[in-house]
Amino acid sequence: MKKKGKASGLDTFVSMPDADIRTLGVFALKGDAGPAMEIVRSFALAHPEVRICLNGYLRPHAGKGLRAYSDAYLGSKVDALLSLGGDGTFLTAARLGHAHGIPVLGVNLGRTGFLADASLENLATILNELLRREYSLRHRIVLQVEQRRGNKVIFRDIALNETAFAGLMGGQMAELEVKANGQVLTGYRVDGLLVSTPTGSTAYSLSAGGPIVHPSANSLLLTPMNPASLSVRPVVLPDSMELEVLNVTSGGHSLNIFADGRTRGAFRAGDVVRLSKHPARLHIIRPRGTSYFDSLRNKLGWTGDRDKRSVVVRPG
């Protein structure tokens, strides 16, 4: 059953998901999670019916209703994951959540974050809203990535934001040929090439001059990094297409592959990387009263008409 709230852009509504959250996983990788954990502990003591499971990094905060477990345990036993940190932490938590169909909520403990966009100041309220099912779920495209060398599969991986192909920045250009559904799209002579999801359009792609794509759009985005030709521009394609990226770099040089910032190893001359939409999407929890458009205005410092008056919303 869904309960719709006042619309404020395409991404705002309040839903009532069918399943109660009775086991909550809390995930962090670095930084000072102490203030957030005090809020989580207070929530756990007030609601003993909700089981709180911490990952290994948060083990020092265990006790008084909180217990630490392995990532494998969190992946198989919790109803939702709470990511404490920045977008990097969220991406790691998202891999765990995607593998097991677990929704993920990101609480930003760093600076600008498009994925971890809930604030520490609102965490206590958000936790109680989760208990009352007063939140919405967003279903985000995930890339599946497969590198082949002849008939041999070198690796398979997933990416929520993007897969990047890059040479040695400033010292080696990457020469790539890209096919879409078996047809040649174009050749690239670039410092790097990004294949992004709509979610990833506000990550490295945005820094490289790519457009912002609403995360509900059914599309994939190719963004060249420092192309040798000014005619090479970002391209938006339907997410139903399967892309193939072939390394044709002169001299037989290997390139690097990154999936959401993780180095995946050598992309040798003649290797092919296939990218396509994963059949399963990642479920992201969006707290009540927030919207994607609000997030853009806050993170990018855009102006906007709120309550019929123009205001400037600054990052912070």
- Cα distance between residue 145 and residue 273, in whole Å: 7
Would you say residue 8 has pLDDT above 70?
no
pLDDT band at 304 (very low <50, low <70, confident <90, very high): low
pLDDT band at 46 (very low <50, low <70, confident <90, very high): very high
| DSSP per-residue string spanning 238-300 | ETTPPEEEEE--GGG--EEEEETTEEEEEE-TT-EEEEEE-SSPEEEEEETT--HHHHHHHHH
More confident call, 312 vs 122: 122
Among 175, 152, 147, which residue's Cα sits nearest to residue 163? 147
Would you say residue 7 has pLDDT above 60?
no
Tokens standing for residue 245: 């990226």
Spatial strand order in the sheet of 243-247: 152-159, 143-149, 272-277, 243-247, 174-180, 183-190
Mean pLDDT of 36-61: 96
pLDDT in tens, 177-198: 999 999 999 999 999 999 999 9
Lowest mean pLDDT among 37-41, 45-49, 261-265, 287-291: 287-291
Mean pLDDT of 207-222: 95
Give the start-to-end residue ranges of the domains of the chain: 23-140+281-312, 143-277
pLDDT band at 45 (very low <50, low <70, confident <90, very high): very high
The pLDDT score that the predictor gives to residue 107 is: 94
pLDDT band at 112 (very low <50, low <70, confident <90, very high): low
pLDDT band at 14 (very low <50, low <70, confident <90, very high): very low
Phi (first) and psi of residue 217, to 5 degrees: -70, 140
Mean pLDDT of 88-107: 95
The pLDDT score that the predictor gives to residue 172 is: 79
Which of 87, 117, 191, 260 is the catalytic position?
A: 87
- Percentage of the chain lying above the pLDDT 90 cut: 70
Would you say residue 6 has pLDDT above 80?
no
CATH of 143-277, picked from 2.40.50.140, 2.10.260.10, 3.40.50.300, 2.60.200.30, is 2.60.200.30
How many CB atoms within 10 Å of residue 245? Answer: 27
pLDDT band at 9 (very low <50, low <70, confident <90, very high): very low
The pLDDT score that the predictor gives to residue 181 is: 98
The pLDDT score that the predictor gives to residue 170 is: 54
The pLDDT score that the predictor gives to residue 100 is: 94
| 87 among known catalytic residues | yes
| Architecture in CATH for domain 23-140+281-312 | 3-Layer(aba) Sandwich (3.40)
The pLDDT score that the predictor gives to residue 168 is: 67
- Cα distance between residue 177 and residue 183, in whole Å: 11
pLDDT band at 102 (very low <50, low <70, confident <90, very high): very high
* 23-140+281-312 shares its CATH topology with 143-277: no
Would you say residue 13 has pLDDT above 70?
no
The pLDDT score that the predictor gives to residue 169 is: 58
Token match 């250009």: residue? 173
